[in-house]
Structure 1
Amino acid sequence: MFTPSQHDVRRFFCDAYRKHRGHEVLTPIEAIARDWIIQHPEYEEALGDVEQAIATDYSVERGQSNPFLHLSMHLSITEQISIDQPPGIRAAFQMLAQRRGSEHEAHHEIMECLGEMIWNSQRNGLPPDGAAYIDSIKRRAQN
């Protein structure tokens, strides 16, 4: 299993942004990252300087949102939907996106469900509950 460090993740997004701006060829995963970067112009400053990106503390105490965590969650959810893993996420995402009228907004709501699933898993010392995750997304699609 590939487990990139925090620095690796930040370099990846900064490199994807640099390549995009320089009209360089992107790998398929970089192209997906670029698509999310484009939808978040507020992150351009953070992505423009890799050394600053690595050095910046995005801790909760500082009250600053972490653009790399946010983009990573978009990337993760995109991958989950593309392979329908956990099973049912693609249909739940489609229902939520249709209900909200925005795939991007649906992603943001799924992030909340994903964060809750991870938090529950860590708190209870159990594996992530994919079925509860999907149910949480479906409930949002019904509201």
Structure 2
Amino acid sequence: MFTPSQHDVRRFFCEAYRKHQGNEILTPLEAIARDWIMQHPEYHEGLRDVEEALAADYSVERGQTNPFLHLSMHLSITEQISIDQPPGIRAAFQLLAQRRGSEHEAHHEIMEALGEMIWNAQRSGLPPDGAAYIENIKRRAQG
């Protein structure tokens, strides 16, 4: 399993943004990252300088959204949907996106459900519950 460090993740997104700005060839994963970066122009400034990105502090106490965590969650959810893992996420996503009228908005709601699943697993000491995660997303699509 690949477990990149915080700096690896930040370098990856900064490099994808740099390559996009320079009209360079992107890897398939960088192209997906670029697509999400383009949907978040509020993060562009923070992606321009890799050294500043590496030094940035996005602690809860500072009250700032961590753009690298946010973009990483978009990538993770994109991958989950593409391989339908956990089973049912693709259909749940499609339903949620249809109800919200936006794939991007659906991603943001799925992020909340993903965060809840991880928090519940950490609190209980049990593995993440993929079925409960999918049910959470389906409930969001109904509401």
Q: TM-score range by the shorter chain?
A: over 0.9
The 1-side partners of 2:91 and 2:120 are apart by: 23
Which runs of structure 2 are paired with 1:51-66 in the superposition (5 Å)?
A: 51-66=51-66
Kindly state the Cα deviation for residue 48 of structure 1 after the two structures are TM-superposed. Answer: 0.5
Kindly state the Cα deviation for residue 59 of structure 1 after the two structures are TM-superposed. Answer: 0.4
- Partner residue of 1:94? 94
- Partner residue of 1:14? 14
- Partner residue of 1:80? 80
- Partner residue of 1:39? 39
Kindly state the Cα deviation for residue 60 of structure 1 after the two structures are TM-superposed. Answer: 0.3
The 2-side partners of 1:123 and 1:24 are apart by: 44
- Partner residue of 1:106? 106
- Partner residue of 1:71? 71
Kindly state the Cα deviation for residue 136 of structure 1 after the two structures are TM-superposed. Answer: 0.1
- Partner residue of 1:130? 130
Kindly state the Cα deviation for residue 87 of structure 1 after the two structures are TM-superposed. Answer: 0.1
Kindly state the Cα deviation for residue 92 of structure 1 after the two structures are TM-superposed. Answer: 0.1
- Partner residue of 2:2? 2
SS in structure 2 at match of 1:4: coil
Using structure 2 for the length normalisation, give the TM-score. 0.99
What is the aligned length? 143
The 2-side partners of 1:139 and 1:123 are apart by: 22
Q: Deviations over 1:57-85 (max 9, x none)?
A: 10000111100000000000000000000
The 2-side partners of 1:12 and 1:122 are apart by: 27
Gap runs ≥5 in structure 1: none
* Moved >4 Å (runs of 4+): none
Q: Does 1:30 align with 2:30?
A: yes
- Superposition RMSD in Å: 0.3
Using structure 1 for the length normalisation, give the TM-score. 0.99
* Percent identity between the two aligned chains: 86
Q: Deviations over 1:87-113 (max 9, x none)?
A: 000000000000000000000000000
The 2-side partners of 1:62 and 1:30 are apart by: 29
